Amino acid sequence: MTTPYFLQRLVLLFSLLIAPAAWSAANVPPPPPLAAKSWVLMDAASGSVLVNHQGNTRLPPASLTKLMTSHVAALELQRGKVKESDLVIISEKAWRMGGSKMFVHVGDQVAVKDLLRGIIVQSGNDASIALAEHLAGGEDTFATMMNQEAKRLGLADSHFVNATGWPADGHYSSALDMAKLARAIIIEDPEHYAMYAEKEFVWSGIKQPNRNLLLWRDPTVDGLKTGHTEEAGYCLVASAKRDGMRLIAAVFGTDSEAARAAETGKLLGYGFLFFENKIFHKRGAVVTEVPLWKGAARTVKAGVNADLAVSVARGTVDTLKTRLVLEPTLIAPVKQGQVIGKIEVLQGDKVLSQADVVALETVEEGGFFRRIWDSIRLFFKGLFG
């Protein structure tokens, strides 16, 4: 019988309260030790790393690799290079692949969407190879696409040589990189993210459960992926959302299926108990209207090109403030996306986060008389300060 997640939180809170280190709202206690090789806890909104234990250590990722496989596939769907309804012919290589399977057969024609579900829910090695071959012509070429995406995301400690996570020389990742990848999946592809919460999938008359035990134990958990090989141990990348806050935990190298769920749940519980976040500005929302000289309009709408958020010790979010620094004299034309300032989040005098302020619209030059008049105004503005 599993323990409800709220009871797990009480147990964790009690263990931390009796720990030697005293804590307050501004002094977060140390995270609980985990029976694992490495782990990372990340706030999804800000990308802030709340806990990092050997998070940059390069380790075999096992089937956590399939997070990149499914992510690359989802990006190809977004770009219109493939459709969910497209049929994929299953090759003999895909069918013969060992390990966890979706149980597709040679010559079957399977829709891209079904293969994606077979990868995410059933961790199908056969589905991973079939989709890789369909998207890139071969698994080796698909691995190149995976590494290109890893570079775009700044995954400095990851390198992929296959689409499955099957043990291979030069195939590695890290807890920190997997947390970053999970964040990209959540933010960049919300449509397919719902698949990561599915508890089972039936194919070829075979019903297989999702191996992420936290989906059954904690109703706030809605993803992402498990992994296991003898070399890697039992690994899990999980995400949960409570009271509007989403956390991502990546745990590598536990010794059993039960342990990876328990240790990951412990890490998530710690984060929700002792941290909170605040989203100051959403991507694309108007932060301010900036005065514009010599333009077809007198102002230009400005905002941020990614959510501006921070995560801090619980009880301290009210101490945060923002500071906006804009171009002192902005002259048209201004292109959409052009950087025209910055915005900072401060706690006291400490800058916790900052982001570029960009133009949310294009404003062309104004007419001849507008430009002449504004030139005169700028002359006297400079003359008299």
Catalytic (active-site) positions: 63, 66, 123
Alpha-carbon span 199 to 191, nearest angstrom = 17
The amino acid sitting at 77 is: L
DSSP H or E run through 129: helix 125-136
What percent of the chain is helix, strand and coil (3-state, nearest 5)? 35, 30, 35
DSSP 60-104: --GGGHHHHHHHHHHHHHHTTSS-TT-EEEPPHHHHH--SS----
Burial (CB count within 10 angstroms: exposed 0-12, middle 13-18, buried 19+), residue 249: buried
Q: Is 9 helix (H, G, I), strand (E, B) or coil?
A: helix
Q: Which two tokens stand for residue 211?
A: 């191996």
| Strand ordering across the sheet containing 49-53 | 49-53, 38-43, 245-254, 233-242, 221-229
Cα–Cα distances in Å, from 289 out to 134, 146, 275, 357? 47, 40, 33, 11
254 pairs with which residues across the strands? 234
Q: Are strands 245-254 and 38-43 parallel, antiparallel or unpaired?
A: antiparallel
The amino acid sitting at 281 is: H
